[in-house]
Structure 1
Amino acid sequence: MPIQILDQNTINKIAAGEVIERPASVVKELAENAIDAMATAVTIEIKDGGISFIRITDNGCGIDKGEIPMAFLRHSTSKIKSVEDLMCVRSLGFRGEALSSIAAVAQIELITKTKEAFTGVRYVIEGGKEQNMEDIGAPDGTTFIVRNLFYNTPVRRKFLKTATTEAGYVSALVEHLAFSHPEVSFRFINNGQNKLYTSGNGSLKDIIYHVNGRDIATNLLEVSAKTQDIQISGFIGKPMISRGNRTYENYFINGRYIKSNIITRAIEEGYKGYIMQHQYPFTALHFTIEQSIIDVNVHPTKMELRFSQNEFVYDFVLNAIRNTLSGRELVPEVRLSRSENVPVNKTRPAEPFEVKRMAAEAEKDKKNSTAGLTAALAATGHTLRQAYVSDTIRPKQLREDPAEYKTTAAIEPSAAPAARPPEAPVTETLQKSASPAPEQLSLITPDDTASIPKPVLVGQVFDTYWIIQFEDKMFIMDQHAAHEKILYERTMHRLESGSIDTQIIAPPVILSLNMREKEVVSQNIDIFTRLGFEIESFGGNEYKVTGMPATLPSLDDRELLMDIIDSLMEEGGASSKPELITQRVASMSCKAAVKGNMRMSFAEAQNLVEELMNADNPYNCPHGRPTLISMSKYELEKKFKRIV
């Protein structure tokens, strides 16, 4: 194929691929143009996530009638005149690509009026081709209406996400705009509903309150630092309001929302020692940086920049954060947990470490049970798991697969787990226990159990791992992974049987959520309900939580819920519902499980081992880490050179 120059329409569509990725890109470019036009009020309205309709109205200076057609040509701009101006760009836009890129892939209607003009102008352009231009009555300012984004590039449209997800991207963008320009009043309307309104009074703290809620707004530390080329102002959160992702790490350079690895690392290093690992702080920081040490002309989206003095910027930000945190009163306020201000739910099942209660319930079940010690059926040896097989296995299971209890293989972490049917409801168990025992169980006598070897719990090392001796093997159990697996399977069994319990909490937990978080909760309310949560709207940005899963030990209710919401936001709704539920149960189990570096009594550890050996898959935690590892006596003696 010979070399040829592309036509202007093709050039515009290629350029649009870099600048306009989704509806949020359109909103960003047009809203930034409104701010550059000195607007004090901007209204952003979308429908169907912005795919079918976007309207942005401002009260800025407007566009002169004679300049309107030129504004939709590539690289036409009023922000710069020469290459020298790139060294001192103070406007949000300057490349002159936005309007031509949007016009190439959408149908645009523009209504604008300058203060000096007597009437306004209505201009229509579709697919980069002018359709109409006429005078109309209009207020001062500019209104852009963008319809049917990517209508002429169906391949691009096919890769857009759902309307709800795209609306979430737009809402996050509007929040960033509100943070970066508190002097501008923003209104965001989604499908006819007002989602956000800021007054434009210039108070960043007011914006934080409107967007993030009361909990964060009341736990802020003001940051103010200045050097020759950089000035920082704004707020950071106290360590107690850290989150599980970087959603709340927001900073703005010369009024522009930016993501910089240098600044992010400096902020997180400044919080080191104040917050836990894999937790991230809240920041809303404004940087005013001398144009001579930055370059914003890196990418058409203008989300990246380069510093000419990386080390200087890093050290300055790090010191500003540390100086703000040091010497402050950062002791978190302790509130009564639900176990301290609410009577204990007497019907709640016993937890693994409620040893006395477990023993009492086990004794009661034993009297009603007709099953014997099924491990005595093993004819030629035993495994660690067989030594702990529950005496509540039903007779039907023994008749169907007696070979399962004749294996001689010892447990290995990679071994396949033995299948176990889900727990039957209590009423079903009692009914079955009333039926006469099968004849084959009458062959088991108490004397047969004497030959079953019993594991010996040796002790705990590093406050995390338990050593278990069984026949000629030594097993090491990770107490956190083991407890996590027990809680996970217990909750999953109850989910499958539809019998997961909800414990009412009083007073209820009140959550202050931003727009994206509220969207996530409303989208996945059925998941929260299945997991045992009771959540309802409480007006405005507040949600009321009146019930928590009764299957988990006492946890920080607020922290658990926010961690689940954070992880759902990160996934963006990409996972299917069953996968989401499984992941959430795994996350809840991990949060509720006993941690490493935590001492346990021998009775608690013994109870933990017994429950683990009755799990469907006792060998791995929900995240895939092993719960047990083993080492034979032979291997141990080889290590000590007793065997050559």
Structure 2
Amino acid sequence: TSKIQTAADLEAITTKGFRGEALAAISSVSRLELITRRPDDEFGTKVVVEGGKEHPPITIGASGGTTINITDLFFNTPARKKFLKKPATEMGHVLSTITCHALANERVHFTFIHNGRRSLDLPAVSNRPERIRQIFGHAILDEMIPVSLDTPVLSLSGFVSRPTLSRNGAQHIFFFVNDRYVKDRLLHRALMNGYRNLLPAGRFPVAFLFFDINPHEIDINVHPTKQEIKFYREDAVFSATYGAIRQVWDTREDAKQETTQIFESLKKTTPHPYPSLTKTNADGLETAKQVYSPPENQSVKSVSYPIPPPPLPDEREIEPIPPSTEHTQTKSDDPSAMPRQVESDFIRQLNRKELQSADIHASDTIQEKPNVNENGINDLAQVDKRPDELFATKSLEGAGRLVVRGQLLNSYILAEGADGLYVIDQHAAHERILFEEFFLQAANKPLVGQPLLFPMTVDFSPDDAALLEEHEGTFKRLGYDIESFGPKTFVIRAIPIALNMEAAENFIKDLLGEFRREGSADEKRERALHTLACRAAVKFGDPLSREDMEHIIRELERMPRRNVCPHGRPNILFVSDDSLRRLFKRTGFS
């Protein structure tokens, strides 16, 4: 408040100090020591406050600047101290805060010492990429693409990850407005819209975006933490952010090429395509050989795809178009009236789920007049049923021994039962099988791990490193052998036998995102097994041999909850023999 002289100053605040009462508040529940010296003063001043009781200031020799030491937090209020989380959790919160400040102030040296150990040391650097490397390592920095945009409203710079690098949470998305870290839904929506059709559902990019905006155009006094912000011209900010992200994919040919690898990289999660489906040698030598074989370099064809224009202000979040409920479509010679065709394999691959849900009648044909029988009932009514009316979710009771008849779209197992046709989601079914196996194994002892011939070292962000130390026991029960190898580096000596090395590293980072969610230890353990089963299961698009499909069905028949996957989605759809006969007008005929 000492810097405010007129009412207009409130609209042009550029300082980033803490609230005035914060120092008094923290000193009332801790032991606080403040040492300060102005540049022109010969001596400094030391002030000590213990539990709100001030000691007389004293003059001491000190270096220029201000140092604040806070110790014994809540020493005089034990009732509040018991609400603190585990030391590793609290340290993670501190490291997260330091990370945000360090990203915004790369020319400042940050050090964090925990229990006498230097947990973080970030010397001052001259540029932001170097700061990103210090905190997150080379692996992250090498996957970043620069972003830059100047408009009359704002100036935007920073880095976003290639679509081949993603996380299962938004913990590595950082927004800074005038070098202040903020959490803003508007900016988050703009970023995610910029990645539309580039990331699988539930995946988030890594991003470091820095906005310079006239202080008159923003309000930082929305929340006491100063991490929430209001923009005067929200539409312009949204459009600029979205446009800057989409411009990356429009102008960088290498980025467009690499997006074709997204699903392929996510699919490569097992050393053998289906380790639980094939009974290989018991000593695991073949598995070990495949684990340590480096991936072959593969060239990727250059593809082109349309870049949609930035959405209008009222179209920031465009909902997917539901399947058509109309039965007919009018033929037209007007090209603009034709169904929009997706021309590249890249878009077809990314949008396969959406394309599969499209109306099967959306074709360029003229519908004949429906046939109506003497009772006024449309004979085609059964054919025009929605999929959820035609197919029913069903368990395998009463099916008899299923006979595999084939695989549809390399994604669904078609099997014949005594009472009709069974369509089985191969990924969901295998995920249920693996989850039940992992759950039973983990209840009694740790999952089997695969020792690595050559241990690998992995760098983590400071807060992820703290979280990993806190949950080290959980990772050991999943088959990992992980050991700290520095402030932010860990050495991995063994991984779950169901995963290869690349998948094992990504699984750790995704699981850390799961651990950030609220829940009991048992809930987090179950979510970890869910995630492990999902990563190790066969994927949509994986071709299966008849033996593999038979194995999935036989194992699924033994599962107690075989009709749904661990996430609650159905595994099995069923259409009865009677329904098929009605569809083909076979009722009443032999």
TM-score (norm: length of structure 1): 0.65
User: In 1, distance between residues paired with 2:71 and 2:487?
Assistant: 30
Select the residue among 393, 403, 411 that pairs with 1:456.
403
User: In 1, distance between residues paired with 2:24 and 2:559?
Assistant: 62
Q: Does 1:501 align with 2:448?
A: yes
Amino acid at match of 2:426: Q
Select the residue among 478, 487, 510 that pairs with 1:563.
510
Give the corresponding residue for 2:556: 612
Taking structure 1 as reference, are residues 129 and 352 closer, same or farther at Cα in structure 2, changes over 3 Å only?
closer
Amino acid at match of 2:403: V
* Structure 1 position 297, deviation (Å): 1.4
Q: Does 1:192 align with 2:139?
A: no
Select the residue among 43, 66, 73 that pairs with 1:119.
43
Give the corresponding residue for 1:575: 520
Check the 8 A contact 1:520/1:565 in 2, yes or no.
yes
Q: Does 1:98 align with 2:22?
A: yes
Deviations 1:124-175, CA, capped at 9 Å, x for gaps: 3345553422323322222222234345555544432222211110011111
Q: Does 1:313 align with 2:237?
A: yes
Taking structure 1 as reference, are residues 275 and 575 closer, same or farther at Cα in structure 2, changes over 3 Å only?
same
Amino acid at match of 2:467: V
* Structure 1 position 112, deviation (Å): 1.8
Check the 8 A contact 2:439/2:529 in 1, yes or no.
yes
The number of residue pairs the alignment matches comes to: 469
Taking structure 1 as reference, are residues 104 and 476 closer, same or farther at Cα in structure 2, changes over 3 Å only?
same
Select the residue among 457, 460, 465 that pairs with 1:510.
457
User: In 2, distance between residues paired with 1:504 and 1:332?
Assistant: 32
* Structure 1 position 214, deviation (Å): 1.4
SS at match of 1:285: strand
Select the residue among 521, 526, 533 that pairs with 1:589.
533
Taking structure 1 as reference, are residues 467 and 355 closer, same or farther at Cα in structure 2, changes over 3 Å only?
farther
Which region of structure 1 is more displaced relative to structure 2, 488-497 or 513-522?
A: 488-497
Unaligned runs of 5+ in 1: 1-76, 359-411, 418-451
SS at match of 1:209: helix
* Structure 1 position 104, deviation (Å): 4.1
* Structure 1 position 587, deviation (Å): 0.6
Q: Does 1:275 align with 2:220?
A: no
SS at match of 2:56: strand
Taking structure 1 as reference, are residues 553 and 352 closer, same or farther at Cα in structure 2, changes over 3 Å only?
farther
Select the residue among 462, 471, 482 that pairs with 2:418.
471
Give the corresponding residue for 1:622: 566
* Structure 1 position 557, deviation (Å): 3.0
SS at match of 1:571: coil
* Structure 1 position 613, deviation (Å): 1.0
Taking structure 1 as reference, are residues 131 and 357 closer, same or farther at Cα in structure 2, changes over 3 Å only?
closer
Deviations 1:336-377, CA, capped at 9 Å, x for gaps: 99xx9x9x9xxx99835438999xxxxxxxxxxxxxxxxxxx
Taking structure 1 as reference, are residues 136 and 499 closer, same or farther at Cα in structure 2, changes over 3 Å only?
closer
Unaligned runs of 5+ in 2: 283-391
Residues 423-442 of structure 1: matches in 2 within 5 Å? none
Give the corresponding residue for 2:138: 214
Deviations 1:358-407, CA, capped at 9 Å, x for gaps: 9xxxxxxxxxxxxxxxxxxxxxxxxxxxxxxxxxxxxxxxxxxxxxxxxx
SS at match of 2:251: coil
Taking structure 1 as reference, are residues 109 and 414 closer, same or farther at Cα in structure 2, changes over 3 Å only?
farther
User: In 2, distance between residues paired with 1:538 and 1:237?
Assistant: 26
User: In 2, distance between residues paired with 1:554 and 1:297?
Assistant: 47
Taking structure 1 as reference, are residues 99 and 550 closer, same or farther at Cα in structure 2, changes over 3 Å only?
closer
SS at match of 2:57: strand
Which region of structure 1 is more displaced relative to structure 2, 584-593 or 628-637?
A: 628-637
Deviations 1:231-269, CA, capped at 9 Å, x for gaps: 122222222222111111112111111011111111122
* Structure 1 position 512, deviation (Å): 1.3
User: In 2, distance between residues paired with 1:530 and 1:524?
Assistant: 10
Give the corresponding residue for 1:38: none
Give the corresponding residue for 1:489: 436
User: In 1, distance between residues paired with 2:70 and 2:44?
Assistant: 18
Taking structure 1 as reference, are residues 597 and 269 closer, same or farther at Cα in structure 2, changes over 3 Å only?
same
Check the 8 A contact 1:108/1:145 in 2, yes or no.
yes
Check the 8 A contact 1:487/1:552 in 2, yes or no.
no
Which region of structure 1 is more displaced relative to structure 2, 610-619 or 461-470?
A: 461-470
Taking structure 1 as reference, are residues 269 and 509 closer, same or farther at Cα in structure 2, changes over 3 Å only?
farther
Check the 8 A contact 1:532/1:548 in 2, yes or no.
yes
User: In 1, distance between residues paired with 2:273 and 2:409?
Assistant: 30
* Structure 1 position 491, deviation (Å): 2.7
Give the corresponding residue for 2:386: none
- Of structures 1 and 2, the one scoring higher in RCO (CA 8 A, sep 6+) is 2
SS at match of 1:275: coil
Check the 8 A contact 1:242/1:280 in 2, yes or no.
yes
Check the 8 A contact 2:511/2:528 in 1, yes or no.
yes
Give the corresponding residue for 2:71: 147
Check the 8 A contact 2:481/2:493 in 1, yes or no.
yes
User: In 2, distance between residues paired with 1:414 and 1:103?
Assistant: 63
Question: Considering only CA atoms, is the larger Rg found in Structure 1 or Structure 2?
Answer: 1
Amino acid at match of 1:614: R
Give the corresponding residue for 2:349: none
Check the 8 A contact 1:352/1:608 in 2, yes or no.
no
User: In 1, distance between residues paired with 2:239 and 2:31?
Assistant: 48
SS at match of 1:223: strand
Taking structure 1 as reference, are residues 216 and 269 closer, same or farther at Cα in structure 2, changes over 3 Å only?
same
SS at match of 2:25: helix
Check the 8 A contact 1:219/1:241 in 2, yes or no.
yes
User: In 1, distance between residues paired with 2:507 and 2:277?
Assistant: 21
| Greater helix fraction, Structure 1 or Structure 2 | 1
Give the fraction of aligned pairs with identical amino acids, expressed as a percent.
31
Q: Does 1:180 align with 2:126?
A: no
User: In 2, distance between residues paired with 1:163 and 1:496?
Assistant: 27
Taking structure 1 as reference, are residues 188 and 531 closer, same or farther at Cα in structure 2, changes over 3 Å only?
same
Taking structure 1 as reference, are residues 504 and 79 closer, same or farther at Cα in structure 2, changes over 3 Å only?
same
User: In 1, distance between residues paired with 2:274 and 2:200?
Assistant: 30
Which region of structure 1 is more displaced relative to structure 2, 88-97 or 553-562?
A: 553-562
RMSD over aligned Cα atoms: 3.5
Check the 8 A contact 2:562/2:571 in 1, yes or no.
yes
Give the corresponding residue for 1:374: none
Select the residue among 138, 156, 159 that pairs with 2:83.
159
TM-score (norm: length of structure 2): 0.71
Check the 8 A contact 1:120/1:137 in 2, yes or no.
yes
User: In 2, distance between residues paired with 1:156 and 1:275?
Assistant: 43
User: In 2, distance between residues paired with 1:523 and 1:253?
Assistant: 32
Residues 347-496 of structure 1: matches in 2 within 5 Å? 351-354=275-278, 454-461=401-408, 463-496=410-443
User: In 2, distance between residues paired with 1:161 and 1:97?
Assistant: 24
User: In 2, distance between residues paired with 1:192 and 1:555?
Assistant: 34
Check the 8 A contact 2:218/2:230 in 1, yes or no.
yes
Q: Does 1:259 align with 2:259?
A: no
Residues 291-306 of structure 1: matches in 2 within 5 Å? 291-306=215-230
